[in-house]
Amino acid sequence: MGAAALASATLLSHPAFADDDDPPAIEEQRDRADSAAERAREVREQVDHLYHEAGVATQRYNAAQEDVDAQQAQVDEALNAAAAATEQVNEARQTLGAMAAAQYRAGTGGLPDAAALLLADDPKSFFDTGYTLNRLTGLQQHALDTFTARERAAEEEQEAATEALAELEERETELQNQRQAVQDRLAEARALLDQLDEEEQAELAELERLEEEEAARAAEEARQERERREQEERERAAAEEAAREAEQAEQEQQPEAPPESGDYATLADTAIAFAEGELGKPYVWGATGPNSYDCSGLTQAAWRAAGVEIPRVTWDQVNIGTTIPRDQIQPGDLIFFYDDISHVGLYVGDGQMIHAPKPGDVIKYESIDNMPWHSAVRPA
């Protein structure tokens, strides 16, 4: 009986040990999950910061690229001018040579006029020759003056071309520096992401998935709101048209008012429709379409589709049109972020925008609250 009691006590004791072991294992798993989630959030913040710095460098690169393009045009113009001036110098030199040869052939060997007259077989031919020589000398002096002026102009054009080339080299160096700055930030971001293990990568992917779902939901609400607003606008326009027709019926002599066109809502709808057509295309820094864009390249292309030309760089885009308070923004407005104005999106309504977010991402809807607000501008 004692042995049986001992065996029973032993058997009964095993589940207790199992129960004691399970909670630490579950808690450890929870700790790992929490640690992975925390690590994913930390890396996400660091990567977003690096992408922001890459965005700043991208705008500087875009501005430098515009400077290089403009300077290249000046260099081409200067080189063409220098070549044309050199050609004019060569033509003037040939004219001088031809005149010198003609004078030599028609000359009298340097004899005084009286002796030349006495030795001439035909006095009349002497006077004709003298007149020709005097005239030739006047033309030659003019040709010499032309040659001198053209040679001086050619030297000036060559100096201008040399200076333009030197400035182009400086701007190309700056362009390469900005390119390297972008690439360095992107490389740092990729290195951070590569440090995540599978569990941390899964947490990061889940975080991004939830954000995208929220953005998609808000975007759908914005689309529905936009459709509702467009329907109200159509109904208003139909009512106005009916009123005009009724008024015209009463006053047949009254000329028909021209239809309204080109108002901001119409232009904004066109710009937004263009941006919606680019959804899903990749962000590529420095790109302006049609297969990829950076943030300011997308907004420039969208408003260009509406017939409104805006600058290339965020720092210039923010200075066009009319600055709009945050509580008065409308679809189509440009929304700028960060104190350094390094990012821009196209507002579509209901707190949502379409933008090209960052390297590795695609053009998509996103909340305007996801980044630090700077300002809003109405470009048309």
- Please identify which of the residues 52, 142, 295, 374 carries the catalytic annotation: 295
For the question of residue 343 being annotated catalytic, the response is yes
Q: How many CB atoms lie within 10 A of CB 339?
A: 7
Residue 334 contacts residue 346 (beta carbons within 8 Å): yes
How far, in whole angstroms, is CA 218 from its chain's centroid? 28
CA–CA gap between residue 352 and residue 332 (Å, rounded): 11
Which letter does DSSP use for residue 257 in this model?
P
CA–CA gap between residue 42 and residue 34 (Å, rounded): 12
- Please identify which of the residues 14, 52, 355, 374 carries the catalytic annotation: 355
For the question of residue 49 being annotated catalytic, the response is no
How far, in whole angstroms, is CA 124 from its chain's centroid? 78
- Please identify which of the residues 14, 49, 343, 374 carries the catalytic annotation: 343
Q: What are phi and psi of 259, to 5 degrees?
A: -65, 145
How far, in whole angstroms, is CA 57 from its chain's centroid? 12
- The two structure tokens encoding residue 122: 């035909």
Q: How many CB atoms lie within 10 A of CB 154?
A: 21
Select from 300, 298, 301 the least CA-distant residue to 356: 298
- The two structure tokens encoding residue 63: 């501005």
Amino acid at 374: H
Q: Which residues pair with 377 in a beta bridge?
A: 323, 334
How do beta strands 352-355 and 343-349 pair? antiparallel
Residues identified as active-site: 295, 343, 355
